[in-house]
Amino acid sequence: MKHHIVILGGGFGGVKCAQTLCRGLPRDNAELVLFNSENHLVFSPLLAEVVGSSLNPLDVVMPLRQLLPGVFCRTEEVQNIDLAASQIQYEGEDGQLCRMHYDHLVIACGNVTNLNLVPGMADHAFPLKSVGDAAALRSHVMEQMEKAEICAGPQRRRWYLTFIVVGGGYSGVEAAGEINDLVRGSARYFQSFRAEDVSVILIHSRDRLLPEISPGLREFARRKMEKAGVNVMLNARVALVTPEGVGLEDGRFVKGGTIICTIGSSSAPVLERLAAPKERGRLLTEPDMRLRGWANVWAIGDCALNVNSSDGQPSPTTGQFAERQGKQCAGNIVRVLSGHPSKSFYFRQLGELCSMGGQSAVAELLGLRLSGFVAWFVWRGVYLFKLPTWARRFQVGFDWAWLLLFPRDLAHLRTRQTDRVSHAHYQPGDLIISQGEPPANFYVIEQGEVEVVRSTAKDPQGEVVAVLGPGSFFGERALLSNEPRVASVRARTAVEVLVMGKNVFTQISQALAPLRDALAQALNRRAIDVWQEQPRVHELLKRTLLRGLMEAVPQPLLKPAAALRDVGHAFVEHGHEFFYVSSDSQTLEGVVTITDLIRGRSTGSTPTTPVSEFMTRNPVALAADDNCAIASTAIREYRLKSLPVVEHKDNRRLVGCIRVRRLMAYVFRELGTE
Ligand SMILES: Cc1cc2nc3c(=O)[nH]c(=O)nc-3n(C[C@H](O)[C@H](O)[C@H](O)COP(=O)(O)OP(=O)(O)OC[C@H]3O[C@@H](n4cnc5c(N)ncnc54)[C@H](O)[C@@H]3O)c2cc1C
């Protein structure tokens, strides 16, 4: 029988683990599957070089299927890990949640940047974690130089040319060095500013930069950076970020047009949802890297807190450690599968390297400390050697050699994307949302109606639990709770919807208080278990069709051209609370209530203004063969006292109306007042 081994994450840890397993396990003995949301490994130590235009974005990524020929590489996002069932859940290409069993699982999903630690950081700062981040930042830096060139005021120009990097670890130091090199080195191609106008500020909360390396080298790194023109602010903690710059905890404000955030990380979302022992977001493991309490689950790299038995210290979150853990974890899995005991994680670091721009670096290799140009040369050599394929080594080596002879490329491509708020059309019967799928969008109905269908194991066909019409919305519950959809939504008529992507929805719903309130009320109203407390009422309403309880359409039907004055008279004369509007005295086109009439009068209408201008157009309507439970939910949703009833969901010929008091009287008559 083949062992099914799943690796979650295609970073340094996951890739090394997969490569080692490929070599250590015969193919007919094991099936290896690696999940990584992107189809490539990101060589993050070189991301700063992309920002500084020393390398192209594609130089720092390696396609996984070319790196791992014997492994089934999949790009689905893993949503959940079910430790008890030895299964993972992932989002399939059709958006459905799928499950996969594993005999052994290696969790190597790294961590994610958390921009929410400081107010304003998420809105105004650039992260530096992915190739996309690096390319976007590079583009922005170029744009800032272009704006500085055409800007009239010297103060504003200085603001455009000020780059603030928050965090003095590896990525912050490297990013500050690269941006400094790029902008100062490019000043000679611009007419309106000189290298002296450029300001790069590195803000670090501790008293020394680069806590990862030895104290002597840290001091050297700081001096070298300052000599190159980087303003290093130590013991300075950023408290807030605005579009103008950053506010420090001690009350100072540092102005600058670009803020780069290299601090703050949190667990990958899949681990946030995993109930397993963690410390500061990292999974706690046994000495051999097994997840505490689970014999067939291993955790490596940035997401795990593996103690190094060489010095008894928790492993730092670096590529070097992730790679080594990947290798030793694979060795342990091979040992366990062949009945041998596993070994504790043990690693003696070979050295540390950090580039600071300006052809300068600091390095500590095999106990030898290097700095300046020699260290920089070693840095490049080591990283060239560490690149996993010969193709990339040649490519990167060539780009670096090119830069020794020619200046950096200042061209940039605008990566503006189309707006992620879009419109969509669905035909009757089309599925807009499927129950169980992960949440992606929020929808606002512009025209037409949808029905909400909930299925259960007993009733896989599903029951229509609600009907929604124009002005209403759906999809909010799963997005807000980040859980799979609890019901399907299907177009009941031809429907036009406004579709908002997850990020846009999150941003708007957080910023716009009325929307937030409307969502909170909707969540309350749409609580799934509203019927659970009254199952008998639910059963009764479900088996009663509207045609048995509806009342006659209030007469007369108004024409869309009826004047406001005449509508007023109709209310006085007939004593109704509303009238329906129809051109052909049959088809429902609108409804006008006393509230609509008052609103019509107060918004500048004249006595002759037609009702079509202040009525509610195409109101939600129920079909005569809908059941009363749907009517009750719709009445609750729209907070109305009555709803129109039409012949059929495809045909809006008015046949009656259903009133809340009639429904209540019916329930009391049938079930008593219990
Ligand atoms: C700018 C920068 C510079 C750095 N410089 C250095 C350096 O000079 N030296 C050094 O040693 N280290 C450096 N590091 C740190 C180093 O990159 C990390 O320690 C290393 O990448 C960790 O490897 P990993 O395998 O644990 O995770 P990662 O490399 O982060 O890989 C995790 C992968 O898992 C995927 N994933 C996560 N969740 C899911 C999911 N649910 N479904 C599918 N896929 C998922 C992610 O997309 C990602 O591809 C730097 C990091 C950055 C950001």
Q: Which residue has the higher pLDDT, 261 or 527?
A: 261
**CA nearest 203: which of 223, 182, 176, 221?**
176
Three-state SS across 362-399?
EEEECCEEEEHHHHHHHHHHHHHHHCCCHHHHHHHHHH
On the question of pLDDT at 501 being above 80, the answer is yes
Centre of ligand 1 to C-alpha 350, Å, is: 20
Listed in sequence order, the DSSP H helices in 97-214 are: 121-124, 131-150, 154-160, 170-186
The mean pLDDT of 260-272, rounded to a whole number, is 91
Identify the pLDDT of residue 530: 64
Percent of residues, the chain, with pLDDT higher than 90: 50
On the question of pLDDT at 461 being above 50, the answer is yes
The band of 419, judged by pLDDT with boundaries at 50, 70 and 90, is very low
Per-residue model confidence as pLDDT tens digits over 182-204: 999 999 999 999 999 999 999 99
Identify the pLDDT of residue 418: 47
Q: Is the CB of 88 under 6 A from ligand 1?
A: no
Are 508 and 518 in contact by the 8 Å Cβ rule? The answer is: no
Task: Give, for ligand 1, the residue of 49, 76, 97, 170 to mutate: max count of ligand atoms closer than 8 Å to Cβ.
Answer: 170
Q: How far apart are CA 408 and CA 530, in angstroms?
A: 64
Percent of residues, the chain, with pLDDT higher than 70: 97
Please name the residue whose Cα sits nearest to atom 47 of ligand 1.
37
Least confident residue range of 244-253, 275-284, 481-490: 481-490
Q: At 138, phi and psi to the nearest 5?
A: -60, -45
Cα 86 to Cα 1, 62, 105, 404, distances in angstroms: 17, 30, 8, 53
The mean pLDDT of 386-392, rounded to a whole number, is 85
Centre of ligand 1 to C-alpha 107, Å, is: 13
Q: Is the CB of 73 under 6 A from ligand 1?
A: no
Cα 122 to Cα 127, 481, 507, distances in angstroms: 9, 20, 11
Q: Which residue has the higher pLDDT, 605 or 376?
A: 376
Structure tokens at 655: 């046949």
Per-residue model confidence as pLDDT tens digits over 220-230: 888 888 988 99
Mean pLDDT over the full length of the chain: 89
Are 137 and 128 in contact by the 8 Å Cβ rule? The answer is: yes
> CB 98: neighbour CB atoms within 10 A?
14
Q: Is the CB of 305 under 6 A from ligand 1?
A: no
Please name the residue whose Cα sits nearest to atom 29 of ligand 1.
11
The mean pLDDT of 622-643, rounded to a whole number, is 88
List of E strands, 455-602: 463-468, 473-474, 488-491, 495-501, 578-581, 590-593
On the question of pLDDT at 408 being above 90, the answer is no
Please name the residue whose Cα sits nearest to atom 15 of ligand 1.
318
- On whether the pTM is more than 0.85, the answer is no
Burial per residue of 584-617, b for 16 or more beta-carbon CB atoms within 10 angstroms, e otherwise: eeebbbbbbbeebbeebeeeebeeebbbbebbbe
Most trustworthy range by pLDDT among 298-307, 308-317, 393-402, 517-526: 298-307
The mean pLDDT of 327-341, rounded to a whole number, is 96
Q: At 44, phi and psi to the nearest 5?
A: -60, -30
Q: Which residue has the higher pLDDT, 314 or 518?
A: 314
Centre of ligand 1 to C-alpha 462, Å, is: 43
Identify the pLDDT of residue 546: 93
On the question of pLDDT at 414 being above 70, the answer is no
Q: Is the CB of 301 under 6 A from ligand 1?
A: yes
Centre of ligand 1 to C-alpha 128, Å, is: 11
Q: Is the CB of 39 under 6 A from ligand 1?
A: no
Least confident residue range of 146-155, 348-357, 487-496: 348-357
Please name the residue whose Cα sits nearest to atom 26 of ligand 1.
301
Q: How far apart are CA 140 and CA 127, in angstroms?
A: 12
Please name the residue whose Cα sits nearest to atom 35 of ligand 1.
9
Atom of ligand 1 nearest to the CA of 317: 19
Q: Is the CB of 649 under 6 A from ligand 1?
A: no
DSSP category for residue 307: E
Per-residue model confidence as pLDDT tens digits over 38-77: 999 999 999 999 999 888 888 899 999 999 998 999 999 9
On the question of pLDDT at 163 being above 70, the answer is yes
Centre of ligand 1 to C-alpha 316, Å, is: 12
Centre of ligand 1 to C-alpha 240, Å, is: 27
Identify the pLDDT of residue 529: 61
Q: Is the CB of 10 under 6 A from ligand 1?
A: yes
The mean pLDDT of 250-258, rounded to a whole number, is 93
Q: Is the CB of 166 under 6 A from ligand 1?
A: no
Place of tokens 């840290």: 218
On the question of pLDDT at 156 being above 80, the answer is yes
CA-CA-CA-CA torsion sign (383, 384, 385, 388): positive
Q: Is the CB of 44 under 6 A from ligand 1?
A: yes
On the question of pLDDT at 282 being above 90, the answer is yes
> CB 186: neighbour CB atoms within 10 A?
19
Identify the pLDDT of residue 674: 54
On the question of pLDDT at 502 being above 90, the answer is no
On the question of pLDDT at 542 being above 80, the answer is yes
On the question of pLDDT at 447 being above 70, the answer is yes
Q: Reduced to 3 states, what is the DSSP secondary structure of residue 459? A: coil
